[in-house]
């Protein structure tokens, strides 16, 4: 019976049920909060546990129905029904692994080089080689990124001139750049994991020579 119940519960819910199971008298208030109306003693442990599990599951089903109604506004509910296995990775925490290393990310790069033998080609290859060295360095070494205010804290000059009550002023928040290989992949592609459909990413690199410093041109790279 216990095994059948546990398979429907999350880790925190299992801990709650075990806590109540091991100390019925000390958790009477919690038992009543979950809607149990019977006798509360050690002789009715199974009844109490079943009642709590039903309450937990019913509440979760209610939340999921409301969640699906929200997804229906964007048509995602139909996608969930048609491909539940694929969508599970986006809704179940811990299933997606950030198994990205420097070699994988570098293999996704598709540079659009200039003609072989040209001076531009030599410079472009140096840029790509330097980027590969950078990926290897952030994979092997812990790099601390800079801290910067999050975008929603930005205020223009007109807003600054307006008087805002002290209790309405939000504390400025900062975020730190994720300086590692998955973070770099997130910056380039919008995701930091291998595609769930199994297809390999392709990141095209374009070199545009626009700035002249002395004799040598410096390439601007667009991905």
Give the pLDDT score at 8: 73
pLDDT greater than 60 at residue 168 = no
Q: Hey, what are 133's tokens?
A: 């060295």
Give the pLDDT score at 3: 46
Give the pLDDT score at 125: 92
Which one of 119-128, 140-149, 181-190, 208-217 scores highest in mean pLDDT?
Answer: 119-128
pLDDT greater than 60 at residue 113 = yes
pLDDT greater than 50 at residue 143 = yes
Q: Are 196 and 106 in contact (CB under 8 A)?
A: no
Lowest-pLDDT choice from 1-5, 65-69, 133-137, 144-148: 1-5
How far, in Å, CA of 189 to CA of 193, rounded?
10
Rounded to 5 degrees, what angle do the CA atoms 203, 208, 209 make?
145
Longest dimension (CA), the chain: 90
- Rounded percentage of the chain residues whose pLDDT exceeds 90: 12
Enter the pTM of the model: 0.47
How far, in Å, CA of 102 to CA of 140, rounded?
9
Segment 166-174 shows an average pLDDT of 59
CB atoms inside a 10 Å sphere around CB 98: 15
Lookup result for tokens 């019976």: 1
pLDDT greater than 80 at residue 163 = no
How far, in Å, CA of 127 to CA of 106, rounded?
13
Segment 12-23 shows an average pLDDT of 89
Q: For residue range 87-99, what is the model confidence (pLDDT) as tens digits?
A: 777 777 665 555 6
- Residue 174 bridge partners (DSSP): 149
Q: Hey, what are 6's tokens?
A: 């546990």
Q: Are 120 and 147 in contact (CB under 8 A)?
A: no
Residue 198's SS3 state is coil
* Residue 108 or 191, more confident: 108
How far, in Å, CA of 62 to CA of 60, rounded?
5
Residue 110's SS3 state is strand
């Amino acid at each position: 019976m216990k095994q059948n119940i546990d398979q429907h519960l999350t880790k925190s819910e299992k801990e709650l049920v075990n806590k109540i199971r091991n100390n019925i008298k000390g958790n009477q208030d919690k038992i009543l909060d979950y809607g149990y109306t019977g006798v509360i003693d050690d002789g009715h442990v199974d009844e109490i546990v079943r009642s709590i599990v039903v309450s937990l599951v019913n509440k979760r089903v209610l939340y999921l129905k409301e969640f699906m109604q929200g997804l229906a506004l964007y048509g995602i509910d139909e996608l969930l029904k048609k491909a539940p296995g694929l969508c599970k990775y986006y809704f179940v925490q811990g299933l997606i692994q950030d198994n990205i290393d420097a070699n994988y990310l570098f293999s996704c790069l598709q540079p659009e080089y200039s003609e072989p033998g040209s001076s531009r080609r030599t410079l472009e290859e140096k840029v790509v080689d330097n980027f590969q060295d950078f990926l290897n360095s952030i994979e092997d070494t812990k790099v601390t990124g800079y801290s910067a205010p999050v975008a929603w804290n930005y205020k223009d000059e007109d807003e600054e001139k307006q008087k805002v009550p002290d209790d309405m002023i939000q504390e400025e928040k900062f975020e730190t750049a994720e300086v590692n290989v998955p973070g770099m992949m997130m910056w380039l592609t919008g995701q930091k994991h291998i595609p769930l459909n199994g297809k390999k990413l392709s990141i095209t690199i374009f070199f545009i020579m626009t700035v002249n410093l002395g004799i040598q041109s410096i390439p601007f790279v667009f991905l």
